[in-house]
Amino acid sequence: MARVLNIKQFVIFIILFIICFLFTVSDSLPQVQNQKCMICHGKPDISKKREDGSVKMLFVNDSMLLHSAHSKITCYDCHNDIVEITALGHKKNINKVQCTRCHYDNNPVGAPETEKYREFQESVHQQELNNGNPKAPVCQTCHGSHDILHAKTLSSLELKKKITQTCGQCHLDIYTTYKSSVHGKAIFDKNITDVPVCTDCHGEHTIKKTDDPESSVFKTTVYSTCGSCHASEKIVEKYGIKADKFKTYESSYHGIAVQFGEKTAANCASCHGIHDIRPQNDPASLIHPDNIVKTCGKCHPDANANYAKGRIHINPHSEESGSIYYISSTFKWLTIITLTLLAIHVILDLVRKLKHKRAK
């Protein structure tokens, strides 16, 4: 035989080859691979009944998946315990997706490498998971699952608002309090992005229990967390808040005590509130003139009207402090003048005594 294949066989071979090639290429596109799953999970009413009677929706929005950060990976990449799919579906009791399957250092699939899941190990949420709290959040609780997005795809305003809502899923009462606070109103009503949302004070993956000394809102360190904005003229003076409030607190008795680790001394939140911080002119504010004595009374039970009669956060170097400024300047000059006269006296006395000694 001179020819191995005749023309007919050759054409069939080429056609088969092209078909196979197309299948291979197209099969590697996630949308095509996911097609099989979407036969069932693309139906909006697909759901399952849990053992406790609750219903879990199993619908996956294909287009949401396509726009998510994971648009380039397939269902199997995360749901790797599903190996066999029959006409009846797949095995029950699918495991929860473990994000750390890809998200670890030097992973071969090119998933972003970050410290964050290691930070999370130390967090209060991981602690709760370890304690078996069924409500404790995992990655998906905050980041979403099929709708997961890169943080950078959102504007900072959208992102900040979304963060409060994300935390609010579980911490609903705090979310409502926060929303009516000066910070909450600024972001929700005035679209000001300088204000802190949950993560700005509490941290993200590092979040600790408030009574953990390492927490960013621990009694003796929370002042520096507030100070990260309130000590910055650039940030707060735009909104008519003096940046010296931070320094004046630091040099006050409360501030000094806190810096020496005194947990009972007042920090920012003791007087201003935590999630319920309101501007001074708000009658519900803890530092409204009508409420301030009560606020002092939280720690100083004998506080009466005299206790709060006067300025707080006094800066002796600012003319606005009135008598304090003038007394402090007077003393400064008194000290300078006295010491100058004294220095003159000592020098004259010294010169005279040395001369006298030499004459002897």
- Among residues 26, 107, 232, 338, which is the contact residue for other proteins, using CB under 8 A? 338
Percent composition of the chain: helix, strand, coil (DSSP 3-state, to 5): 50, 0, 45
Bridge partners (DSSP) of residue 48 are 56
Counting contacts by CB under 8 A, is residue 324 touching other proteins?
Answer: yes
The one among 33, 35, 127, 328 contacting other proteins by CB under 8 A: 328
Binding region for other proteins (CB under 8 A) out of 58-66, 88-96, 274-282, 302-310: 302-310
Among 158, 311, 318, 320, binds other proteins (CB under 8 A): 311
Q: Does 172 bind other proteins (CB under 8 A)?
A: no
Does 260 sit near other proteins (CB under 8 A)?
A: yes
Nearer to other proteins, 71 or 264 (CB): 264
Q: Which of 107, 114, 155, 335 binds other proteins (CB under 8 A)?
A: 335
124, burial (CB in 10 Å: exposed 0-12, middle 13-18, buried 19+): middle
Least distance CB 193 / other proteins (angstroms): 33
User: Helix (H, G, I), strand (E, B), or coil: what is residue 55?
Assistant: strand
Question: Positive or negative, the Cα torsion across 320, 323, 326, 331?
Answer: negative
Q: Which of 92, 150, 152, 309 binds other proteins (CB under 8 A)?
A: 309
Burial code (b: 16+ CB inside 10 Å, e: under 16) for 311-350 equals eeebbeeeeebeebbeeeeeeeeeeeeeeeeeeeeeeeee
The alpha carbon of 199 is separated from its chain's Cα centroid by a whole number of angstroms, namely 1
**Least distance from other proteins to the Cβ atom of residue 139, Å:** 42
Residue placing its CB nearer to other proteins in the complex, 17 or 307: 307
Size of the site for other proteins (CB under 8 A): 41
Q: Does residue 12 bind other proteins (CB under 8 A)?
A: no
CB 280, min distance to other proteins, A: 16
Tokens of 242: 């003096």
Per CB under 8 A, 300 contacts other proteins: yes
Question: How far is 183 from 198, CA to CA, in rounded Å?
Answer: 10
| Residue 299 within binding range of other proteins, rule CB under 8 A | no
Binding other proteins (rule: CB under 8 A), the pick from 57, 109, 307, 313 is 307
Q: Site for other proteins (CB under 8 A): which residue of 89, 112, 289, 310?
A: 310
Q: Is 131 in the site for other proteins (CB under 8 A)?
A: no
263 interacts with other proteins by CB under 8 A: no
Rounded Cα–Cα distance for residues 195 and 160 (Å): 9
Task: Report how far residue 111's alpha carbon sits from residue 148's, in angstroms, rounded to the nearest whole number.
Answer: 14
Footprint of other proteins on residues 196-255 (CB under 8 A)? 251
What distances in angstroms separate CA 162 from CA 113, 200, 282, 283, one per listed residue?
24, 13, 27, 29
Is residue 359 a contact point for other proteins (CB under 8 A)?
no
As measured in angstroms, the least distance from the Cβ of 77 to other proteins is 55
Q: How far apart, in Å, are the Cα atoms of 177 and each of 173, 276, 299, 329?
A: 6, 6, 23, 43
Backbone φ and ψ of 62, nearest 5°: -60, -40
Mapped onto helix, strand or coil, the DSSP state of residue 350 is helix
| Radius of gyration for the alpha carbons in the chain, expressed in angstroms and rounded | 34
Among 257, 274, 279, 288, binds other proteins (CB under 8 A): 257
Q: Which stretch binds other proteins (CB under 8 A): 131-139, 152-160, 222-230, 333-341?
A: 333-341
Can residue 40 be called a binding residue for other proteins (CB under 8 A)? no
Binding footprint of other proteins on the chain (CB under 8 A): 251, 256-257, 259-260, 262, 300, 302-304, 306-312, 314, 316, 323-324, 327-328, 331-332, 334-335, 338-339, 342-343, 345-346, 348-354, 357
